[in-house]
Amino acid sequence: MIYNDEYETMPREALEAIQLRRLQQTVERVYNTVPFYRKKFDEAGVRPEDIKSLDDLKRLPFTTKQDLRDNYPFGLFAVPMSQIVRIHASSGTTGKPTVVGYTRRDIKTWSELMARALAAAGVSQNDIIHNAYGYGLFTGGLGVHYGAETLGASVIPVSGGNTKRQITIMKDFRPTVLTCTPSYSLHLWEVAQEMGVDFKRDLAIRVGIFGAEPWSERMRQEIEDKLGIDAIDIYGLSEVLGPGVAVECIEAKDGLHIFEDHFIPEIIDPETGEVLPYGETGELVLTTITKEGIPLIRYRTRDISALYKEPCKCGRTMVRMARVTGRTDDMLIVRGVNVFPSQIESVLMQHEEVAPHYVIIVDRQKALDVLEVQVEVTERLFSDEVRKLQELERRIEKDIKETLGISCKVKLVEPKTIERSMGKAKRVIDKRQI
């Protein structure tokens, strides 16, 4: 279902005219109200009146997460605090948290974009949404919540954790839509199995909308097979808005439609900053063109993706982004080879004997990087003889070497050994940095 025909199916020429007008307004506003941007623009030798076409966007400087931290907490706000009605922030686990503020209009925009995203996933006002994203400073829970109410669907604000209670609620309340991280959906399935609850037989969930962490196509298949649902990818990040920046449509599940009337996407070479053409993989950069509280110009998301402009069978005309395969700051360099967790996950998911729960451990021994992958096996396999487990370890090690060009040790561990997360799964332990 298309929530907003006026914009989501707009001809490209008309959409780009709106983008240019909104970009010009945003650039002028941040130049006049945010000292950080005035200084950055002046250093780059560009002024608001220089932006005469969308192609001029590349003349503007990038904004990074470090810029938000350096201006902590409210240094990048473009309106006085009297106009800010909500504040969200990241966890700050790797430094100062990034803080974002929303005006009343920002909240309305966010709610509408999340309603669009839910509709694209096939959700309607007749659905009940089990919202297991975290509520609080994290944007996920409240983003989905406001979007569901805008769409007219019923929402159960269950948040994360207390998994057995969540299964009971799903059984009793009969929600039809599940929203959470992809890894948590599989944890829900595991706990349901322990409780004697069959997702396909006993629950009414028909579609899941999953985001907040990279996940592979193999993991989608695993979720759909086990839960008996359609698994839809959603994208967003707190700094830019929250969830609702882009979403797959249930008709195609082939790339995420970016809501370009609110965001201008670019793909750049993460090393040089050069803008790459459609279809090439690089780092996603987003410029907000309707945000009031904290507009961001050419924000480097660090997410690895690609953009496609070919028409989609759902009828939407907006550019699609490829599934995020990793982050430039999550990339591991092991003995000179670039390794993304999603690459290893794709290899693991080719082996039906293992479960989709794993951790990558990188260490340094005698000045040499050592890579180890610990992955759970199924209950049935773990009860088999040791020889079968060793043979599987060798097969996976061989597949990883052929795929990545690097040797690693694979260690099969018993079910439920890998720590489960209520939010984003922790996939990497880099002991070289400890």
Domain ranges in the chain?
Answer: 1-328, 332-433
Give the integer Cα–Cα distance in Å for 289 and 131. Answer: 28
Q: Which CATH class is domain 332-433?
A: alpha beta
Given a contact cutoff of 8 angstroms between Cβ atoms, the answer to whether 208 and 175 are in contact is no
- Say yes or no to pLDDT of 93 above 60: no
The DSSP bridge partners found for residue 99 are 89
Query: How large is the average pLDDT for residues 367-384?
Result: 82
Pick the CATH number of 1-328 from 3.40.50.2000, 3.90.660.20, 3.40.50.12780, 3.30.465.10: 3.40.50.12780
Choice among 80-89, 253-262, 271-280, 376-385 with the minimum mean pLDDT? 376-385
Preceding amide of 73 cis, omega within 30: yes
Which residue has 């053409």 as its token pair?
Answer: 277
- Say yes or no to pLDDT of 185 above 70: yes
| Domains 1-328 and 332-433 equal at CATH topology level | no
Residue type, 286: L
Which is more confidently placed, 161 or 227? 227
What is the pLDDT at residue 353? 87
Task: Return the H-helix or E-strand segment holding 336.
Answer: none
What's the whole-number average pLDDT of the chain?
Answer: 93
Percentage of the residues of the chain whose pLDDT score is greater than 90: 75
- Say yes or no to pLDDT of 421 above 80: no
Which segments of 138-216 does DSSP mark as H helices, in order? 139-151, 163-173, 182-194, 199-202
Split at pLDDT 50, 70, 90, the class of 383 is low
- Say yes or no to pLDDT of 386 above 60: yes
Q: Please write the tens of the pLDDT for every residue from 197-218.
A: 999 999 999 999 999 888 888 8
Task: Output DSSP code: residue 428.
Answer: E
- Say yes or no to pLDDT of 333 above 90: no
Choice among 73-87, 258-272, 392-406 with the minimum mean pLDDT? 392-406
Given a contact cutoff of 8 angstroms between Cβ atoms, the answer to whether 297 and 27 are in contact is yes
Q: Please write the tens of the pLDDT for every residue from 336-348.
A: 787 888 788 889 9
